[in-house]
Structure formats: C-alpha cells, structure tokens
C-alpha cells in the first residue's frame, strides 16, 4: 500500500504558519524537491544546519536567526522524507546516500560550508559529509549528536525493528492516527526536553502525516552507525560536542567517551537541558557556538 501525496505534509495546509515562512523556498537538487530556509546575507560565510530524525526546519526556529546575526549565510533544509522535502528512493537511504544528496543540494545553491551544525542524526550526517570531503568546514558542531551505535545487542535490535516497521506500509499510518497532543507531549518529554506549546504543535503537525513518519523510520532503518563510528578517528575537523545534561535519548557520557577518539574535539555540557537543547534554550546554544566559531576563525588565520 504506497503512501499517497496526501500522506505527506502539505505546504499550503501544514506550512500555513510555519516558523519563518518568509525565509522558505523550494529548490530542485539530487532529483528531489527540497524545502529550505535561508537567513543572513547571500555572500556571508556559509553555515549548514541539519535537523535530527523526525524533525524539520522548525527545529531551528530560535537558533537560525541568532546565527545569521553573527554574520553567516544560514541554510537549513528539511532532510529527505522529512517535513516538506521529497523522500529518497530506498536504494539511496543509506547514510552515504543521504550525504551525497545533501552535498548535491549545497553545491547547487553555491554554499561553501564554513560552519556545520547538526542535531542528533543530523550531526551523524554532517560527520559523514566531512569524512567523505563533501564539505570542509572550519568547525563541526554536534548538538546531542547520534554519532555512535546503541550499546551491545541494542545496536542490532533497534535498527532491525525500525527496518521492519519501515517495510510495513501500515505502520506510519497507525502512528499518524495516534499522534494526538498528549502522545506528542509524552514523546518529547521522554527525550528529557520541555517544549513550549508552539514547539509541541509543530511536531504534532508533522507526526500526523504518515509520509513524514515513514521518512523518519527510513533513516533509522537504513543507516549504518557502526560503520560511521569506525571512521570517526579519521575526522580531523575541529569538533564541538554540545551535550544536554538531561538528555534521555542519547547518554550524555557518550560524548565524553567519543571525545577521546576524535583528533580535535571538546565537549560543552549544558546542565538542565535535554535532547532538544537548541529548541529549549537557543540563545544559550548560540552563545556557545559563536564563541567556538571565533576560536576556529582565529586559529585558521
């Protein structure tokens, strides 16, 4: 049972009051129609923002304008299958396949990425792009980055479950039908974050669309995080690991372990914030990124 167009988020319906709608446009690249948002001056240094699994550009509603004020051209796309961007075909849903697609997007828009910031799975995607030299930023920022596999047997179990759910065409519809406000609040609360009513409503709006749910499951089902983890010691990009102390989705201590395996990385712990730290406290996160970007620019000159 294929998903119908009506199962995908619709810009005129679901995006009618999308955050920073005036910054949105649709572009063609890598065989897809992408929803992107841009902030800042067109000729400013490029900054690429990649959201995590199940999110979209709304995730950056507080942070993106603050980074543009810092003097960057900020590009934030909806990842394939998420939000208002077309899904990738199954054969291209791997981490390298999605990295290639995002690389084609940035190339088509003429973005030279000097600063790359990713949340959760978005950080894994940026790390893969750096390793494959699709981008060569001065600084990579991972906000609660999903850069390592689940520990032990869970590393095999959870991707397998996601693959099984992704291959069942009924699963996204069932999830969408059950995504009422209470269910979405429980899901967000389970990450250790507390969002305002607007943030919860935007996630609920996306989760009620089976196509968006299918896009999230497709990412989880097809990404090989153990392969990325094996390659991370080759990641010579200056890296900042921002960690929410209350993150319940990814253990905060994992970042400190990972730091020892990376050639040029440090950890910034944000106490009192969860997995969606950049949505809970965008000003706090922006200040940390600005300071680290200043250090990177000084060391590269």
For residue 179, the model assigns a pLDDT of 66
pLDDT tens-place string over residues 194-223: 999 999 999 999 999 989 988 988 888 888
How many CB atoms sit inside 10 A of residue 80's CB? 25
pTM: 0.91
Give 125 or 175, the one with higher predicted confidence: 125
pLDDT class of 224 with cuts at 50, 70, 90: confident
Contact assessment for residue 116 and residue 132, using Cβ atoms and an 8 Å cutoff:
no
Bridge partners (DSSP) of residue 270 are 244
Q: Give percent of the chain with pLDDT exceeding 90.
A: 74
Per-residue pLDDT, 136: 97
Evaluate the CA torsion angle 135, 136, 138, 141 in order and state its sign.
positive
């Amino acid at each position: 049972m294929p998903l119908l167009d009506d199962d995908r988020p619709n810009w005129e319906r679901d995006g009618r009051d999308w955050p920073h709608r005036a910054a949105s446009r649709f572009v063609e690249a890598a065989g897809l129609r992408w929803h992107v948002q841009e902030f800042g001056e067109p000729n400013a240094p490029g900054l690429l923002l990649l959201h995590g699994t199940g999110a979209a550009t709304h995730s950056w509603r507080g942070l993106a304008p603050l980074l543009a004020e810092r003097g960057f051209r900020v590009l934030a796309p909806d990842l394939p299958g998420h939000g208002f961007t077309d899904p990738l075909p199954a054969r291209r849903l791997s981490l390298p396949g999605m990295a290639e697609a995002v690389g084609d997007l940035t190339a088509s828009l003429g973005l030279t990425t000097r600063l790359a910031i990713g949340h959760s799975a978005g950080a894994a995607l940026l790390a893969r792009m750096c390793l494959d030299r699709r981008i060569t930023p001065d600084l990579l920022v991972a906000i609660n980055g999903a850069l390592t596999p689940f520990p032990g047997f869970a590393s095999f179990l959870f991707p397998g479950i996601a693959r099984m759910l992704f291959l069942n065409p009924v699963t996204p519809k069932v999830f969408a039908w059950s995504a009422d406000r209470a269910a979405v609040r429980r899901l967000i609360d389970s990450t250790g974050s507390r969002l305002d009513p607007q943030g919860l409503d935007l996630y609920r709006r996306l989760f009620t669309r089976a196509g968006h749910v299918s896009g999230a499951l497709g990412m989880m089902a097809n990404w090989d995080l153990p392969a990325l983890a094996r390659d991370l010691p080759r990641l010579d990009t200056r890296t900042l690991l921002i960690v929410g102390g209350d993150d319940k989705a990814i253990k905060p201590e994992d970042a400190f372990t990972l730091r020892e395996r990376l050639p040029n990385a440090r950890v910034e712990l944000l106490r009192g914030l969860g997995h969606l730290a950049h949505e809970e406290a965008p000003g706090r996160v922006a200040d940390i990124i600005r300071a680290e970007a200043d250090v990177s620019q000084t060391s590269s000159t």
